[in-house]
Structure 1
């Protein structure tokens, strides 16, 4: 297997929504959700990468930022 990186592009809003989800998901201590511990490790790593890239989680109005990001990402209602 070669060791090339895979790059994924996310909008700022998508990154915020994903970061918030991973934060909640990673707090649940239930290893039965994973077929292998490597899956858990990857999710932890993605959360850490996003934490390094985003300044929003450290802002006082973070909950409002998350709300707005969710609205921006959510599918439109028909």
Structure 2
């Protein structure tokens, strides 16, 4: 299977999955089965192999800009 994401989508998804289970701000990602968790981990690992931004000094700025662009395209909630 091939999944295509924009650079912004990949970065935001990477951060969401990296933050999964470690957030202290009350956000939750509901996973109902170990297989779902394992699948999410596989996606995160694939993104981690491809992305360089998370390892750069200005990662927080890049992530913020990506979030803003995506929100602008799809609307906020």
Pairwise TM-score range, normalised by the shorter structure: 0.7 to 0.9
- Give the aligned length: 68
Stretches of 4+ aligned residues off by more than 4 angstroms = none
The residue that corresponds to 2:8 in the other structure is 13
Given that 1:26 and 1:44 are in contact with CA atoms closer than 8 Å, whether structure 2 keeps it comes out as no
CA RMSD of aligned residues (A): 1.6
TM-score by length of 2: 0.79
The structure having more radius of gyration, on CA atoms, is 1
Q: State how 1:1-78 maps to structure 2 within 5 Å.
A: 6-27=1-22, 33-74=30-71, 75-76=74-75
**Structure 1, gaps ≥5 residues long:** 1-5
